[in-house]
């Protein structure tokens, strides 16, 4: 019974985290200042939500204690799998909803290269253009999501970790 409820908590957390990360992406691509501010607030809310899910996981399914490693693993999986959901949304957005999205990102990247006086050769142009195609962009998003998941899981696990007190009876 407890393991089934634990899986339900993880799935619910995954849906909430993935949904918020996806909403965050969709608000950011709108290029609207107000929506970008809302996207930032959603990013903060997502971290708070992950913390709350980890505390709930610790208290309800681990008898109020959790090691740093177990907390890290739970938070990493929650964020990483949520980011996979976001990568699917990015793929759908770039391939179906806004096919010009890849061209716009390529143009912005090349503009930054010009401003930084970085020479753009044909191979550089082809690499940037390939990188911003929908499928490679989704895989890059998954890779960067792994780094983001590790970063936030590391920080949040420091707050979630709770060892047994020396006064607790050993059973």
CA dihedral (24, 25, 31, 35) in degrees, to 10, reads -10
Q: What's the pLDDT tens digit per position in 3-41? A: 666 677 778 777 888 888 888 888 888 888 899 899 999
In a domain, 168, yes or no: no
The H-or-E segment that residue 43 falls in is: helix 33-61
Is residue 165 assigned to a domain?
A: no
Domain assignment present for residue 22? The answer is yes
Residue bearing the bigger pLDDT, 111 or 169? 111
Q: What is the pLDDT of residues 114-130, one digit of tens each?
A: 899 888 888 888 998 99
The number of distinct structural domains making up the chain is 1
What residue numbers bound the domain in which 86 lies? 2-160
Please report whether residue 169 resides in a domain.
Answer: no
Is the entire prediction scored with pTM above 0.75? yes
| Mean confidence (pLDDT) of the chain | 87
166 located within any domain: no
């Amino acid at each position: 019974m407890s393991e089934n409820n634990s899986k339900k908590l993880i799935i619910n957390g995954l849906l909430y985290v993935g949904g918020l990360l996806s909403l965050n992406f969709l608000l950011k691509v709108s290029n609207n200042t107000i929506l970008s501010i809302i996207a930032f607030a959603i990013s903060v809310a997502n971290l708070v939500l992950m913390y709350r899910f980890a505390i709930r996981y610790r208290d309800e399914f681990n008898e109020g204690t959790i090691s740093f490693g177990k907390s890290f693993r739970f938070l990493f999986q929650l964020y990483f799998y949520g980011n996979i959901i976001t990568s699917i949304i990015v793929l759908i957005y770039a391939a179906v909803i806004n096919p010009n999205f890849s061209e716009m990102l390529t143009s912005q990247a090349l503009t930054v290269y010009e401003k930084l006086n970085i020479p753009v050769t044909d191979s550089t142009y082809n690499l940037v253009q390939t990188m911003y195609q929908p499928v490679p962009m989704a895989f890059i998003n998954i890779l960067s999501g792994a780094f983001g998941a590790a970063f936030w899981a590391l920080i949040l696990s420091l707050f979630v970790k709770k060892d047994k007190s020396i006064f607790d009876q050993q059973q």
